[in-house]
Amino acid sequence: MKRRELLQAAAVAAPAGLAGVAGMAGAVGPAAAAVPPKTLRVAFDFAETGFDPPRVGDQSSIRVIAHIFETLLTYDPLARPAVLVPQTAAALPEISADFKRFVFTLKPGILFADDSVFQGRPRELVAADYVYTYKRFYDPAIRTEHLYLLENEKILGLSELRAAALKNRTPFPYDVEVPGLRALDRYRLEFVLAAPSPRFAQVLAGWQFGAVAREVVEAYVQDPQAHPVGTGPFRLAQWRRASRIVLERNPRFREQVFHTVGAAPELQPLAAQLAGVRAPRIDRVEIDIIEESQPRWLAFLNGEHDVLTVPRDLGALAMPGGQVAPFLARQGITAEQQVNGVAHTFINQEDPIVGGLQPARVALRRALVLAFSNAEELRLVLNDQGLPAQSMLPPGTYGHDPALRSEMSSSSPARARALLDLFGYVDRNGDGWREQPDGSPLLLRIAFTPDRRARASSEIWLKRLKAVGLRVEFEFAPFGELIRRSLAGQVMMWGFIWSGNVDGDFFLGLAYGPNSGQSNDARFRLPAFDRLYERQRALPNGPERLALMQQANRLMLAYVPYIAHYHPLMTELRRPHISGPLRHPFNGDWYRWIDVAPRSPA
């Protein structure tokens, strides 16, 4: 569940203890020094927050975290649609017939990356590490927006443990055993839930839940964001905040040979190429933070980076007519594309002007949908690098209805004006702007990050709302500040992109009342919706569940806590010396199977 592209300005700093390891890959002796490390060079478009999983939710941090920490399960890199497979677990879990008990068995011999905390001794991953990892999300001392993912699963005893710590204002009791989460022995881990959850295993494949070692977290409690130590194929070698991140091969990483349970037909040649390959195939990943699209694009053209996620405002230049531009193709540059996620605007339901379930407020939100034009935004801002959204459920996600057509893609200023007139949003004082039905001023406030693409979208909002007589002001602030304010309920309207989940439950959960203040940025609360949401969660996949999901989706469309704009088309350009699978719809560790061949001379 890749959350939000977060921008945080911070001082340049390097993690303590990393200065001596930066750049060590391939530098173990005179002979090895002659062979340069295989290095993948990439750029991220937003600054990272840090690398402690519970505390972050931005794309840049997530991508780094996914290569350092490992979850019990992951997704087959080449299977389409997505197929859940073991990662640190030896196999898929044992699941009780009522979907309330899940037992995982770990592969023995998996080791954490070296750290001075371990005093030179190998540190094996054990079941107790996962118990500690999950409990951290319940610790009131850790501010996290991901707690709801576990609380919604009703793991027996954990929410009560958190509630007691909050009530008594005492430290979270990590050593107190609860019936819902136990290490049965060194390698076996048991979950017991209060209610059936047929897709609980999918939750545990989320990037947030990679195993951490308790002694590491406690040793670096003053700055946990700077000291990620996991079992993954890479470790953090260098970090200059908001500037540069370097990952290097983890020497303790186990032997992992590529395997697919069944590659999609179009990916069969790639599966054949990867047969017998060990991870990771490269020694080093160098990541530059370049926020503006033009410099990032030029850096790729100049050969400074090997892979580029095409900036959406430059999509027509890189991929005219959906094909790689000739000047790129002549260099052997190829492209991969996929549609994933949803760009949206949430509307704060606790706001006294736009929120609430009263018919007039619902009419105002519907009028905003009709006034705006997703098609215009896609054309002018995204260069058609996306698909118009009909709802918050993206293509490729279980529960998405390809036949659905809604007002989200049916711009009509005339209908917006008629709806506003009908519910009393009229200009009473002759100043050219509509007032609220009670005559009080009506001023909309929409937040944006201060980047070029966001400013272009704000210009469309301004023009479109002015055309129907609605006055609007814009607030521009860094992503991190807007995240903090939105979690506190202090933003009227703001939008970003949600992506990276295989099941529509996640996107419906954005409107689930108990998720308010976490993923439910709109702070929407509707008992009828909550009941539908809870019922579909308890059912296995099939027609009955799909029917409930569609009913819940229609309630979201009717009450408009979210305006769904488009489903982004992500385009990855790669230079000819790069091979292997790049972007996966739901896995965050993109670099595990990438290879870098020696570059041809210019």
Residue 284 pLDDT grade (very low, low, confident, very high; cuts 50, 70, 90): very high
Instruction: Examine the pLDDT at 96 and tell me if it is beyond 50.
Output: yes
Beta strands in 210-265 (DSSP E): 234-240, 244-249, 256-257
Q: Residue 330: how many CA atoms within 13 Å on its side-chain side?
A: 5
- C-beta separation of 335 from 315 below 8 A: no
Residue 247, C-beta contacts closer than 8 angstroms, at least 6 positions apart: 64, 67, 68, 234, 235, 236, 237, 284, 285, 287, 591
- Res 601: pLDDT: 56
Return d(Cα 197, Cα 177) in angstroms, integer: 22
Q: Indicate the pLDDT class of residue 112, thresholds 50, 70 and 90.
A: very high
Cis geometry, peptide bond prior to residue 280 (ω within 30 degrees of 0): yes
Over 80: is that where the pLDDT of 141 sits? yes
pLDDT band at 600 (very low <50, low <70, confident <90, very high): low
Are the CB atoms for 191 and 127 separated by under 8 Å?
no
Distance CA 235, CA 239 (A): 11
pLDDT at 33: 52
Whether 7 shows a pLDDT value over 60: the answer reads no
- Buried-state track 461-494, b at ≥16 Cβ within 10 A, e below 16: bbebbeebbbbbebbebbbbbbbeebbebebbbb
* Structure-block tokens of residue 534: 């809870």
Bridge partners of residue 2, in order along the sequence: 499
H-state helical runs in 488-596: 504-508, 527-537, 543-559
Distance CA 594, CA 590 (A): 7
Whether 27 shows a pLDDT value over 90: the answer reads no
Helix ranges, 180-314 (H): 200-203, 214-219, 268-274, 293-301
Q: pLDDT digits over 527-576, tens only?
A: 999 999 999 999 999 999 999 999 999 999 999 999 999 999 999 999 99
C-alpha to C-alpha distance for 84 and 71, rounded to whole angstroms: 12
Any bridge partners for residue 446, and if so which? Answer: 474, 493
Average pLDDT taken over every residue of the chain: 92
3-state secondary structure 139-180: CCCCCCCCHHHHHCCCECCHHHHHHHHHHHCCCCCCCCCECC
Kindly provide the b/e burial profile for residues 578-590, where b requires at least 16 CB atoms within 10 angstroms of the residue's own CB: bbbbbbbbbbbbb
Return the pLDDT at 458: 97
pLDDT in tens, 176-212: 999 999 999 999 999 999 999 999 999 999 999 999 9
Q: How confident is the model at residue 9 (pLDDT cuts 50, 70, 90)?
A: very low
Helix ranges, 341-469 (H): 359-371, 374-380, 413-422, 452-467
* pLDDT at 215 > cutoff 60: yes
Phi, psi of 438 (to 5 degrees): -90, 5
Average pLDDT estimate for 240-246: 97
Please write the tens of the pLDDT for every residue from 430-464: 999 999 999 999 999 999 999 888 999 999 999 99
Choose among 435, 440, 340, 438: nearest CA to 393. Answer: 340
Q: What is the distance between the alpha carbons of residues 13 and 327, in angstroms, rounded to a whole number? A: 39
Please give the residue that has the higher pLDDT: either 102 or 569: 102
The reported pLDDT for the residue numbered 17 is 39
Mutual orientation of helices 413-422 and 359-371 as an angle, nearest 10°?
Answer: 160
Please give the domain boundaries of the chain with CATH numbers for all domains: 2-22+38-279 (3.40.190.10), 342-569 (3.10.105.10)
**CA-based torsion, 260, 265, 267, 269: positive or negative:** positive
Nearest by Cα to 597 from 32, 33, 38: 38
Least Cα distance to 524 among 377, 347, 292, 387 occurs for: 347
Residue type, 444: L
